[in-house]
Amino acid sequence: MLEEAQKNHYAVGAFNYCNAESAQAIAEVGCELRSPVMLITGPWEVPILGAKMLADIAKWVAAEASVPVCLHLDHATEIELVRECIEAGFPSVMIDASRHNFEENIRLTKMVVDMAHPRGITVEGELGAVGRVDDSTVEGEGESSLTEPDRAAEFVERTGVDALASAIGNAHGIYTQRPILDFERLTAIRNATGIPLVLHGGSGTPADQLHQAIDIGISKVNVASELGRAFLNAIERFDESRDHKAWWGHAIIDAKSAIKQVVARWTKELGSVGKVE
C-alpha cells in the first residue's frame, strides 16, 4: 500500500479507531472516495478491547469494504505488545524504540522485524523522537529530537524495516502554533533510505507543508487527535441539544458522522482519492 503511494506521490491516511463505529466510519469514507485507508490502534486502545477484538473488528470492516483496508499497530514501545498483536492477526506493526539510544533502538527494532517478516507482517520503526504538543496527547515522547539522514540509512539497513517514522519538526497533538517542517532534512532522509516515510502528528499540519512533504516522499500520515476531538465534541453537542435526556446509543450516530467528515477532509488533502478503481 505504501510503496504504491510512494511511487505515485500521494499518502495513505492512517486513522485511529477504538471501536467498531469509528473503524466503520474510516472504511466507509475510503469506499466513498475510492481511497485505500489504514486503521491504526495502539497501546491506549489495546487494553480496552484487547488485541484480538480490535483485529476482529478490523477484519470484519475490511471484508465489507470495496477498497484496501490495512490494520496497523501504532507506537508500540514494548515487545510484548507487538507479539500480542502479531498473534492476534495484525498484518502491520510499529515498534517505537526511539526513546532508547541508537544501538538499543536498532536491537529492539531488528527483534520485531525478525519476528514479523517470516509471517509476512510489515514493520515500521522510528528514528528521532516525535514529541507532543500538549499534555493531553498520549502518543509519542515528551521531547523531540530530529532524525539524522546518515543514521537513518544505517538504521534501515541494519533493521530491515519496511517504513520509517521520521522527526522533521512534526509533533503529536493539535498544533498551538504553525509547525515548520524541515524539508531539506526530509529530502536527505528519503534519498538515504529509499523506503516509504511516515509523518506522525498529522493533525493540524498546514496543507502547503503537507503537500510538499508528500511530494518529497511521505507515504503515510497518521491522524488521531482531530478524530478524538471530533468524536467527543459530537457527543457533547448531542447531549446538550437534547437536555441530557436522549438515548445514549444514538449519540454514536453523530460521533460517527463527525469522524467521517475529518477522514474525508484528510483523504482529499493526502491525494489518495480515486486511487482505487
- How many residues does the structure list for the chain? 277
Residues 6 or more apart whose CB falls under 8 angstroms from that of 14 comprise: 37, 38, 39, 40, 72, 74, 198, 220, 221, 222, 223
Residues 6 or more apart whose CB falls under 8 angstroms from that of 47 comprise: none
As given in the structure block, the three cell numbers for residue 61 are 470492516
Using only C-alpha atoms, the chain has a radius of gyration, in whole angstroms, of: 18
Q: Which of 162, 171, 170 is nearest to 193 (CA)?
A: 162
As given in the structure block, the three cell numbers for residue 181 are 517542517
Per the residue annotation, which of 56, 74, 96, 114 is the catalytic one?
A: 74
Q: Which of 86, 95, 26 is nearest to 61 (CA)?
A: 26
Query: What gap in Å lies between CA 221 and CA 238, rounded to an integer?
Result: 30
| CA within 13 Å, CB half, 200 | 30
Active site residue 135: no
Backbone torsions φ then ψ of 229, nearest 5 degrees: -65, -45
Partners of 218 in beta bridges: 197
Positive or negative: CA dihedral 191, 194, 12, 67:
positive
- Could you list the active site residues? 74
